[in-house]
Structure 1
Amino acid sequence: MSTTTVLGVDPGSRVTGLGIVASKGSQLQHCYSESIRTGDGSLGERLAVIYSAVSDAITRYRPDSIAIEQVFVSKNPRSALVLGHARGSAVLAAVHHQLPMAEYSALEIKRAVVGTGSASKTQVQHMVRVLLNLQRKPPLDASDGLACAICHIHTASGLDRITGVRQVISS
């Protein structure tokens, strides 16, 4: 049974959560997590920090794929636009490193990790700690990155099982 490693990204213009989770069968293992603080520079400088952090994590840990949380529509169009730029920096890093990429909504991530799409950030944080058998709760943004990776592992695992069933039936 092979190990699959996924980099999860929770993009933010001020804080971006990164988390890498390895999966072997049904076992999940925490490899890395961090909350990337972009500082108070210009938008371009903050986007460069995100791009560099995602690229560095890819180079250092060599994940098999990347999962990125989708941008939600905000009441404030400017905030949504800036968040989209932050997400774009992470997408660019994935493309630059030729990593397969998947996108998940916050609702999908919460359902995959907690079991309900209405879960709070602290409920997600708690379940990430439990699922990865961590001694301490990771910071909220880092736990969101880890949750995104866990969501992708669970979703991809389910799709593999469905594909396997289809292959057996069609054989």
Structure 2
Amino acid sequence: MIILGIDPGYINTGYGIINIINNKINFITEGVINTKNKNKYFIINNIYNKLLFIILKFKPINMAIEHIFVGKNFDSIIKLSYAKAASLLVAENNNIKIFEYNYNKVKK
């Protein structure tokens, strides 16, 4: 079972891919989608397209993604929501089952 883990971020969205076979976790790859652009529409599209490439290449069946930590900076929350929405949309469009976790669980 191949699982894609996502750490959504507006400028840097992290990802990792593992394969679980007979309860043994095998590392496949990890990386960061960097977006250094001021245009939010470009950023959302960039995250979507790069995750789509990763999904088509590795064919995960599940995705683990962080719940957005609600802090005091609403601008940051909105920007993180863009990255998370792009991630959720690409997973949903590719029939990947989505699991959301608190940040401390998904980092493990």
| TM-score, structure 1 normalization | 0.60
Q: Counterpart in 2 of 1:129?
A: none
Task: For residues 111-166 of structure 1, give each alpha carbon's deviation from its aligned partner in whole angstroms, at most 9, with x where no partner exists.
Answer: xx2xxxxxxxxxxxxxxxxxxxxxxxxxxxxxxxxxxxxxxxxxxxxxxxxxxxxx
* 2:71 paired with 1:74: yes
In our comparison, the structure showing a higher alpha carbon Rg is 1
Contact 2:65 2:101 in 1 (8 A): yes
**C-alpha distance in structure 1 between counterparts of 2:74 and 2:24, whole Å:** 40
Task: For residues 26-58 of structure 1, give each alpha carbon's deviation from its aligned partner in whole angstroms, at most 9, with x where no partner exists.
Answer: 321111211110112401101111101111111
Cα distance, 1:104 vs structure 2: 0.5
Q: Aligned-pair RMSD on alpha carbons?
A: 1.1
Aligned residues between the structures:
108
Larger fraction in helix: 1
SS in 1 for 2:50: helix
SS in 1 for 2:69: coil
Cα distance, 1:108 vs structure 2: 2.5
Of all paired residues, the percent bearing the same amino acid is 28
Question: Quick one: which of 35, 51, 55 aligns to 1:54?
Answer: 51
